[in-house]
């Protein structure tokens, strides 16, 4: 990246009283100019603390919506309107209503990887980092959980509760790329490495992993661990941050092309465009925002 571009970005940030927040899966050049890099909820909460008028949220649609919901006094913009998470689209309000009718007495836990309209229908939200804790906190041995089926199964295995996936088949197209074979191949190629996996991976991968955690948990674990080599089973964008923050350690992707095209839709020049007054303003209908905020706040109380 040229010095000229770096200077332009920092000048625009000052002029517009803006911050750039980038998800762990963003392109490395965007992570490098961001004021903070993290998971979606970490960033949304960071936006609350930061004194800024404009928040450029470089991530996918549902993440920028959460930032807008938690920061109603700030202008939140997303670099590319087309950066939409396919998993979030799998749990529509209509699907939720159908399951509510089928299981009227069960609480509904909605993973933050969902649209605002769906969060608004949840009893409580969860992240991949606190899903186990959230489900444990509910006074029910049976819960509805969506949209990620693998995360639902992981939570069931950790809590002993019956976790009913909503819909039955929800998945992240990136994390379903991992399987037992890739774990075995990684073990053969890097026998002394710790295998870390995201809980959106299939159960066969999680059973074989040395460590299971969200992106923020992986970042903390890698920092604190005495191990020097890690194989990482999550979107490859996280490796940039892991390598940058742990220069003496080595990180290998479990699958080289585990790349989220939706996350990668945002480019550095789109971020610059946002700072210059472009981008796409994220607006959530006030009633939807209010109900979604309540489900998010319940999660914060638990976690
Ligand atoms: S990595 Fe998966 S869950 Fe995350 S934005 Fe991409 S498709 Fe959605």
pLDDT tens by residue, 94-115:
999 999 999 999 999 999 999 9
Averaged pLDDT of the chain = 96
In this predicted structure, what is the pLDDT of residue 220? 98
Fold (CATH) for 3-84+263-283: Rossmann fold (3.40.50)
Is residue 260 within 6 Å of ligand 1 at its C-beta? yes
How confident is the model at residue 55, as a pLDDT? 96
3-state secondary structure the chain: CCHHHHHHHHHHHHHHCEEEEEECCCCHHHHHHCCEEECHHHHHHHHHHCCCCEEEEECCHHHHHHHHHHCCCCEEEECCCCCCCHHHHCCCHHHHHHHHHHCCCCCEEEECCCCHHHHCCCCEEECCCCHHHHHHHCCCCEEEEECCHHHHHHHHHHHCCEEEECCCCCCCCCHHHCCHHHHHHHHHHCCCCEEEECCCCCHHHHHHCCEECCHHHHHHHHHHCCCCEEEEECCCHHHHHHHHHCCCCEEEECCCCCCCCCHHHCCHHHHHHHHCCCCEECCCCHHHHHHHHHHHHHHHHHC
Question: Is the fold of 3-84+263-283 the same as that of 175-253?
Answer: yes
Instruction: Give the model's pLDDT for residue 263.
Output: 97
What CATH number was assigned to the domain covering residues 87-173? 3.40.50.10800
pLDDT at 2: 80
Ligand 1 contact, 85 CB (< 6 A): yes
Q: Which of 24, 38, 86 to mutate to test the pocket of ligand 1 (most atoms within 8 A of CB)?
A: 86
| Mean pLDDT computed over 236-243 | 98
The CATH number of 175-253 is: 3.40.50.10800
Per-domain boundaries in the chain: 3-84+263-283, 87-173, 175-253
């Amino acid at each position: 990246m040229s010095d000229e571009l770096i200077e332009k970005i920092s000048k625009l940030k000052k002029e517009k009283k803006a911050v750039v927040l980038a998800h762990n899966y963003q392109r490395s050049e965007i992570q490098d100019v961001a004021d903070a890099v993290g998971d979606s909820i970490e960033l949304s909460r960071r936006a609350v603390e930061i004194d800024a008028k404009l928040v450029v949220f470089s991530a996918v649609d549902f993440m920028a919506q959460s930032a807008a919901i938690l920061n109603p006094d700030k202008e939140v913009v997303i670099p590319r309107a087309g950066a939409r998470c396919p998993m979030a689209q799998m749990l529509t309000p209509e699907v939720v209503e159908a399951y509510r009718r089928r299981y009227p007495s069960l609480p509904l836990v909605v993973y933050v990887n969902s649209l605002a309209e769906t969060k608004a229908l949840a009893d409580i939200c969860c992240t991949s980092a606190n899903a186990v804790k959230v489900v444990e906190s509910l006074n029910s041995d049976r819960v509805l959980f969506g949209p990620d089926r693998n995360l639902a199964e992981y939570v069931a295995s950790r809590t002993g509760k019956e976790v009913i996936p909503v819909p039955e088949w929800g998945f992240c197209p990136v994390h379903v790329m991992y399987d037992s074979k890739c774990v075995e191949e990684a073990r053969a190629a890097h026998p002394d490495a710790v295998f870390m996996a995201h809980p959106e991976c299939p159960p066969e991968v999680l059973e074989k992993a040395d460590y299971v955690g969200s992106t923020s948990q992986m970042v903390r674990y890698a920092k604190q661990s005495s191990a020097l080599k890690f194989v990482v089973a999550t979107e490859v964008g996280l490796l940039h941050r892991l390598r940058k923050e742990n220069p003496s350690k080595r990180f290998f992707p479990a699958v080289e092309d585990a790349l989220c095209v939706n996350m990668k839709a945002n480019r550095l020049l789109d971020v610059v465009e946002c700072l210059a007054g472009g981008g796409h303003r994220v607006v959530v209908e006030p009633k939807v925002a209010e109900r979604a905020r309540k489900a998010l706040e319940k999660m914060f109380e638990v976690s």
